Amino acid sequence: MVITVPATLPTPWIPHRRTTFPVIVDPPGWTTNIQPVLTFGTTDDYSGIDHYELSIDNGTPQIVTQPVYLASLSDGIHDIKVTAFDKAQNPKDFLTNVYIDTTPPDPFEINVIPPGWTNVPPVITFETMDSCGGVDYYTLSIDNGTPQTVTSPYQLPV
Ligand SMILES: [Ca+2]
């Protein structure tokens, strides 16, 4: 007798349950846009979707329809919870975040080594902080030229 074993097992079938549903934040990641837009949607076996509720930073849930144009948000990371309810009022949550940063990095100085006239290519150093989203990158422009991305320390061309 020959027994054959299938090379791959069939995908387990999970009846009548959605593990998650997508909530798309536009724009994603850190942004200066204080009113990101949420789009989302899911389906429900049997009774169908009844409504969605939105809670921001654990606030009181509000019934919403998508797309959701968020009210003006302050700088920082905000917790977004969208809950889908089917017609039997079974809830399913989806959690995401929006990242708002409208504040530029702290003022900073450029140190030139050596200072003053020199016959060697000078090196510049610079560093600043950003209280919210963090510093992503620096750009350098010489004599109003095209800005280029640089890191500190940077040796100036001569
Ligand atoms: Ca910032």
Residue 70 Cα to ligand 1 middle (Å): 20
Task: Check whether residue 27 and residue 95 sit in a common domain.
Answer: yes
Residue finishing a domain among 51, 80, 100: 100
With H, G, I as helix, E, B as strand and everything else as coil, classify residue 52: strand
Range of the domain at 70: 23-100
pTM: 0.73
Residue 131 Cα to ligand 1 middle (Å): 6
pLDDT value at residue 2: 63
CATH of the domain at 28: 2.60.40.10
DSSP 11: P
Residue 39 lies in a domain: yes
Residue finishing a domain among 85, 100, 115: 100
Residue 102 Cα to ligand 1 middle (Å): 6
Residue 24 Cα to ligand 1 middle (Å): 23
Low-confidence ranges of the chain (pLDDT < 70): 1-20
Residue 80 lies in a domain: yes
CA 15, chain centre distance (Å): 32
Domain count, the chain: 2
Residue 55 Cα to ligand 1 middle (Å): 25
